[in-house]
Amino acid sequence: MKPIIGINGNVGQSDYEASTLSVRSTYVDAVLKAGGTPVMLPPIPDREAMLAQVEACAGFIFIGGPDIDPARYGEKPHPTISRLPERRESYDFALIEEAIRQRKPFLAICLGCQQVNVALGGSLIQDIYSDVDTQVQHTIKQAPYLLRHDVKVEAGSMLGDLLGVDGLSTNSAHHQAIKQPGKGLRVVARCAADGIVEACELENYPYGLAIQWHPEYLVAEPLHLKLFEGLVRAATAESLAAQR
């Protein structure tokens, strides 16, 4: 059985003044390529239904998107903030907190990385170009986000062991980044040129990886596909343990 990987959905606006709930195909295709069964999790306000979603999934991908309300980490908003829809933000944090409470494997990408950090009590750089002296262009809004920069990976980390390298070339599409890591999060990768945090992992956890780049666009490259394959392996183990 291929493990079920839940992917949290976006909230958009239709022509009929009703929300559209969707997920980008790149996330779905990356899970399929890695051997998992992708399932979109629509943002819902019903906690009991959200708990059922968590129970049904063996692993999760927490996807990218706009910005978190800075009030969640005790700050006022920077002028560059582009807020998440409230429906999605409330749901995402409830989902992430419950998935972590149940120790389910996850891969958190871009905004998802930042949400995991804030959910665990961390804070964010609200705008890299206002707060950090850097020549690296981290914010590339035109899909497929293929402008690259180099990332250094910490030796002895789960990420380093998974990839088998001490560095790699990544794409980039973010104007925010982790400032203070949340409880239990270990910084395991940084931008080689400016030290911006590019990946964290949750310590003493089956597979809790939060990365700032967008590997779902790069799964034709084995190193980036390994991130999804690692999630699927951990989710398979979770499924087998649940069956026992």
Domain count, the chain: 1
Rounded Cα–Cα distance for residues 89 and 100 (Å): 17
For the entire predicted model, the pTM comes to: 0.94
Catalytic pick from 138, 174, 175, 214?
214
The mean pLDDT of the chain is 93
Catalytic pick from 110, 113, 191, 200?
110
pLDDT of residue 115: 98
User: Could you tell me the mean pLDDT of each successive run of 10 residues in the chain, 244 residues long?
Assistant: 95 74 95 98 96 97 96 96 94 98 97 98 93 74 70 97 96 92 98 94 97 95 97 93 78
The tens digit of pLDDT for each residue in 199-238 reads 999 999 999 999 999 999 999 999 999 999 999 999 999 8
Q: In which domain, by residue range, is 84 found?
A: 4-243
Angle at 58 between CA 210 and CA 2, to 5 degrees: 110
Residue 213, Cβ density class (10 Å: 0-12 exposed, 13-18 middle, ≥19 buried): buried
* CATH number of residue 49's parent domain: 3.40.50.880
pLDDT of residue 144: 56
Catalytic, 57? Answer no
